[in-house]
């Protein structure tokens, strides 16, 4: 069945086209490459994988709680509304909320696919074009993996949220190449890493955990790509140009933090949307989650040199300054390691199955 049959809203109602600005840049210097970017390109080539073979799609999800997540991760958990629900209704909330979250991952991945294809066109260095080309393939695989999880296992999809759509449109409508990176590789992918991590580390279902672990292994390279490219470029800009970018970062961060009310979900479930959105904003669990979303973004923003008074004030007001102390490179290296541990577990299980069959 096509996505159309899975959607909570018909696909034709939500189709999205807009005029994206692009300045195409050819590069005739083929040998002036930066070591860091070439090493990353090399890693990108070697770490390509096939979503249909690395992931064991024969595993099923529990219809009552597909990804096997703790109920405390449900945005309205503990509210009077949640307390009134019976077991069947709670199962429906789990199914829908998890599909809503994964749908945003899937749409964000399509955004990354398009943004990175744009970077191939617009970025000046051939080394960055090389790396971005490997990322385009990564993003296609990510769309494939989330879409398969939603279509085959959840049999349910939600349309893109307004918040994600606005941010994507801003990043893709700006013809300056660094703004695509700043929107995608630094902000959206930084945020995505924190959201994926929550599932990779807490999902009891091995299929859901594995999809997120493998996607994260690639995303860690993508964030590193943004860091390497912008870290060289931002010191060359004027203070006014950096200030403009800092302003954009702060506004986008507020926007991302405050968009997590899951309005479409409550409407679809026929719950009182305002009451639910208020419960989401009040929930301690969600408050913590909205703060933790910035663990990956803050150290990267500091590292690329957007660390003037505008960003520092914004992050102090949001209460996320402490994340500036996080060692961004170490945390990205750990994402790589965790994905390899998932591979090792699969190999162990496969050899146990083979031994049992002998």
Where along the sequence are the contacts to Fe ion (CB under 5 A)?
109, 112, 139, 142, 189, 219, 222
Residue with tokens 């789990």: 94
Distance of closest approach, residue 191 Cβ to Fe ion, in angstroms: 11
For every residue of 185-254, DSSP letters joined together read IIIIHHHHHHHHHHHHHH-SSHHHHHHHHHHHHHHHHHHHHHHHHHHHHGGGS-HHHHHHHHHHHHHHHH
Between 134 and 161, CB nearer to Fe ion: 134
Between 6 and 142, CB nearer to Fe ion: 142
Between 220 and 310, CB nearer to Fe ion: 220
Distance of closest approach, residue 147 Cβ to Fe ion, in angstroms: 12
For residues 226 and 181, the answer to whether their CB atoms sit within 8 Å is yes
Distance of closest approach, residue 215 Cβ to Fe ion, in angstroms: 6
Give the CB-side neighbour count of residue 122, counting CA atoms within 13 A. 21
Nearest to 219 by CA among 196, 236, 248: 196
287 CB neighbour count, 10 Å cutoff? 13
Between 127 and 335, CB nearer to Fe ion: 335
Between 107 and 222, CB nearer to Fe ion: 222
Distance of closest approach, residue 200 Cβ to Fe ion, in angstroms: 14
Distance, in Å, from the CA atom of 261 to the CA atom of 275, rounded to the nearest integer, reads 10
Distance of closest approach, residue 105 Cβ to Fe ion, in angstroms: 8
Which spans in 85-161 are helix H?
87-122, 126-148
């Amino acid at each position: 069945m096509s996505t159309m049959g899975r959607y909570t809203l018909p696909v034709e109602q939500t189709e999205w086209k807009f005029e994206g600005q692009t300045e195409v840049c050819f590069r005739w210097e083929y040998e002036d490459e930066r070591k860091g970017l070439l090493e990353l390109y090399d890693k990108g080539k070697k770490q390509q994988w096939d979503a249909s073979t690395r992931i064991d799609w024969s595993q099923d999800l529990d219809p009552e709680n597909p990804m096997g997540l703790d109920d405390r991760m449900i945005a309205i958990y503990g509210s009077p509304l949640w307390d009134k629900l019976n077991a069947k209704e709670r199962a429906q909330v789990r199914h829908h909320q998890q599909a809503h979250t994964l749908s945003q991952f899937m749409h964000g991945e399509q955004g990354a696919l398009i943004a990175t294809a744009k970077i191939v066109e617009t970025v000046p260095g051939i080394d960055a074009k090389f790396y971005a080309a490997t990322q385009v393939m990564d993003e296609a695989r990510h769309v494939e993996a989330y879409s398969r999880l939603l279509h085959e296992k959840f049999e349910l999809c939600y349309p893109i949220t307004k918040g994600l759509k606005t941010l994507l449109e801003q990043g893709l409508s700006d013809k300056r190449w660094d703004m695509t990176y700043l929107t995608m590789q630094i902000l959206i992918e930084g945020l995505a890493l924190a959201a994926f991590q929550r599932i990779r580390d807490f999902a009891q279902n091995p299929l859901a955990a594995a999809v997120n672990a493998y996607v994260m292994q690639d995303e860690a390279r993508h964030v590193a790509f943004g860091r390497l490219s912008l870290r060289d470029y931002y010191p060359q800009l004027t203070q006014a140009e950096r200030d403009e970018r800092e302003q954009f970062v702060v506004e986008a961060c507020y926007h991302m933090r405050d968009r997590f009310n899951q309005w479409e979900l409550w409407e679809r479930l026929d719950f009182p949307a305002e009451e639910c959105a208020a419960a989401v904003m009040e929930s301690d669990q969600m408050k913590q989650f909205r703060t933790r979303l910035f663990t990956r973004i803050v150290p990267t923003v500091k590292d690329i040199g957007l660390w003037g008074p505008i960003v520092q004030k914004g992050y102090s007001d949001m209460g996320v300054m402490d994340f500036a102390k996080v060692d961004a490179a170490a945390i990205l290296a750990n994402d790589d390691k965790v994905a390899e541990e998932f591979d090792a577990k699969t190999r162990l299980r496969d050899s146990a199955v083979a031994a049992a069959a002998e």
